[in-house]
Amino acid sequence: MSLSAARHPSAELCSALAGLFETAHEGIYLGTLPYHGEGATLGANPHLKLMFGFPPEVDDHEVRPFDEERFVDPQARRGFVERLLRDGAVTDFLLRLRRIDDKPIWVEVNAHLAAPGHGEPARIGALLRDVSERRKVEDQGRGQYHELMQYEKLAALGQTVSGVAHELNNPLATILTWSERLAGRSLDALAGRGISIILGESERAAKIVRNLLTFSRKHHTTRGMVDLNQLVRETLSLRAYDQRVSNINTMDALATGLPQVFADAHQLKQVLLNLLINAEQAMLSTSGRGTLILRSWHEAADDCVVLEINDDGPGIPDDVRPRIFDPFFTTKSAETGTGLGLTVAGRIVEDHGGQLRMESTPGHGASFFVRLPAGTGRARPKPSSVAPVRPVVGRGAAVLLVENEPALAEAVSDALTDAGFLVDRAADGRTALERAGSRTYDLVVCDLKMPRLDGQAFHRAVADTIPGLSRRIVFVTSGVVAADTEAFLEESGCPWLRKPYRLADLLRVAREVSSGRFTAS
CATH number for the domain spanning 428: value is: 3.40.50.2300
SS3 414: helix
Q: With respect to residue 165, please indicate whether it lies within any of the assigned structural domains.
A: no
How sure is the predictor about 206, in pLDDT bands with cuts at 50, 70 and 90?
Answer: confident
pLDDT of 90: 92
Position 275 pLDDT exceeds 50: yes
CATH code, domain with 112? 3.30.450.20
CATH code, domain with 276? 3.30.565.10
SS3 19: helix
Cα–chain center distance at 324: 17
Q: Are residues 275 and 330 in the same domain?
A: yes
Q: With respect to residue 261, please indicate whether it lies within any of the assigned structural domains.
A: yes
Domain count, the chain: 3
pLDDT of 386: 41
Q: Are residues 292 and 363 in the same domain?
A: yes
* pTM score over 0.85: no
What tens digit of pLDDT does each residue of 383-398 get? Answer: 444 444 444 445 788 9
Q: With respect to residue 168, please indicate whether it lies within any of the assigned structural domains.
A: no
Q: Are residues 359 and 422 in the same domain?
A: no
Q: With respect to residue 155, please indicate whether it lies within any of the assigned structural domains.
A: no
> Distance between CA 444 and CA 459 in Å, rounded?
10
For 177-227, the three-class secondary structure string (H helix, E strand, C coil) is: HHHHHHHCCCCCHHHHHHHHHHHHHHHHHHHHHHHHHHHHCCCCCCCEEEC
> Distance between CA 109 and CA 70 in Å, rounded?
14
Which residues span the domain enclosing 325?
224-379
Q: Are residues 365 and 426 in the same domain?
A: no
Average pLDDT over residues 292-296: 93
Amino acid at 476: V
Q: Are residues 403 and 271 in the same domain?
A: no
Q: With respect to residue 443, please indicate whether it lies within any of the assigned structural domains.
A: yes
Position 210 pLDDT exceeds 80: no
pLDDT of 37: 67
Q: With respect to residue 195, please indicate whether it lies within any of the assigned structural domains.
A: no
> Distance between CA 387 and CA 505 in Å, rounded?
7
Domain boundary among 130, 158, 176: 130
State the average pLDDT for the chain: 81
pLDDT of 505: 86
pLDDT of 139: 73
Q: With respect to residue 206, please indicate whether it lies within any of the assigned structural domains.
A: no
Q: Are residues 364 and 402 in the same domain?
A: no
Q: Are residues 417 and 330 in the same domain?
A: no
Alpha helices in 419-454 (DSSP H): 429-438
Position 45 pLDDT exceeds 80: yes
Q: Are residues 79 and 41 in the same domain?
A: yes
Domain boundary among 107, 130, 153: 130
Average pLDDT over residues 45-71: 92
Helix (H), strand (E) at residue 244: helix 228-245
Give the residue among 311, 308, 340, 341 at the shortest CA–CA distance from 327.
340
For the ranges 320-329, 381-390, 471-480, 491-500, the lowest mean pLDDT is seen at 381-390
Q: How many CA atoms lie within 13 Å of 375's alpha carbon, on the beta-carbon side?
A: 19
Q: Are residues 110 and 235 in the same domain?
A: no
Q: Are residues 339 and 479 in the same domain?
A: no
Position 516 pLDDT exceeds 80: no
- DSSP category for residue 396: T
Q: With respect to residue 9, please indicate whether it lies within any of the assigned structural domains.
A: no
Q: Are residues 326 and 454 in the same domain?
A: no
Q: Which residues contact 142 (CB under 8 A, 6 or more apart)?
A: none
Alpha helices in 298-368 (DSSP H): 341-351
User: Is the CB of residue 223 less than 8 Å from the CB of residue 264?
Assistant: yes
For 249-275, the three-class secondary structure string (H helix, E strand, C coil) is: EEEEEECCCCCCEEECHHHHHHHHHHH
What tens digit of pLDDT does each residue of 133-160 get? Answer: 888 877 776 666 666 666 566 556 666 6
Q: Are residues 357 and 493 in the same domain?
A: no
What tens digit of pLDDT does each residue of 410-463 get? Answer: 999 999 998 899 999 999 999 999 999 999 999 999 998 888 888 899 999 999
Domain boundary among 348, 379, 410: 379
How sure is the predictor about 334, in pLDDT bands with cuts at 50, 70 and 90?
Answer: very low
How sure is the predictor about 297, in pLDDT bands with cuts at 50, 70 and 90?
Answer: very high
